Amino acid sequence: MSDNSLRLVWVYPDLLSTYGDQGNALVVERRARQRGLDVQRVDVRSDQPIPTSGDIYLIGGGEDRPQRLAAERLVRDGGLERAVSNGAIVFSVCAGYQILGKEFVNDQGQRQEGLGLLDVVTVRGEGERCVGDVLGDIDPRLGLPQLTGFENHQGITHLGPTARPFARVTMGRGNGTGDGTEGAYNDTVFGTYMHGPVMARNPHIADLLLKLALDVNALPAIDDRWYEALRAERISAATQPA
């Protein structure tokens, strides 16, 4: 990318845009524009090829059948893997997170191939569904404040040796494995179960993606009062006794 332009790709909004996850694209776009960046946002439907020249790719959650269709088309297309090999950043949520892994269990109860961009495998949980508010501590290497979000998934995601946990939960189930992990990442590919949308609750994650895309250590400050008010409200609500 050039010093003042950004190409933001929202992947398959017709299949993977559940729980308001398109809000992540809105937040990244706004926070980039507030810093004077010229943003080109590209919404790519599932009947269109994935462009390989994007800087940041965002993938949302979806129900089981749309997830299967999205995975089949992304694997067949190959564009997202080529974009990552070119240095693109990818941030995925819930069903999108599972698709980025090596495999997951689809709506037909079968193991389905993922993109293999994250060293994770997702199986279907046998217990109660993971639903509710989540709080967690993001990997200190990423330099981000407390994570807040909302999870709603039946999948249990196991991390392989090359995947780092995106966060450690202090409330909620996260990956559902019982080890306290939430999400996963390696290099420029990130996955999480957090809805909310997660960027509205955690704008510093959007800033992290921008810094990676720009290859800078810091961004100009902007007015965060609205975001901080939302964060404080949701964290307070999550920690109040039932």
Q: Supply 179's token pair.
A: 């080890």
Is 129 a known ligand-binding residue?
Answer: yes
Give percent of the chain above pLDDT 70. 98
- Digit-coded pLDDT (tens) for 191-214: 999 999 999 999 999 999 999 999
Burial per residue of 129-146, b for 16 or more beta-carbon CB atoms within 10 angstroms, e otherwise:
ebeebbbbbbbeeeebee
Active-site residue, from 153, 158, 195, 204: 195
* Residue partners of 128: CB distance under 8 A and separation at least 6: none
Strand partners, 10: 43, 58
The lowest-confidence range among 15-19, 107-111, 119-123, 171-175 is 15-19
Q: Residue 126 and residue 129: Cα distance in Å, rounded?
A: 8
Nearest to 115 by CA among 87, 139, 142, 95: 95
Spans of all domains in the chain: 5-239
Residues 41-89 have pLDDT tens digits of 999 999 999 999 999 999 999 999 999 999 999 999 999 999 999 999 9
Q: Specify the pTM.
A: 0.96
- CA torsion sign for 45, 49, 54, 56 is positive
- The number of angstroms, rounded, from the C-alpha of 229 to the middle of its chain's C-alpha atoms is 22
pLDDT at 44: 98
Q: Is 204 a catalytic residue?
A: no
CATH code of 5-239, in short, is 3.40.50.880
Report percent pLDDT > 90 for the chain. 94
**How far out from the chain centre does Cα 207 lie?**
13
Q: Check residue 130 and give its pLDDT.
A: 95
Catalytic annotation present for 195: yes
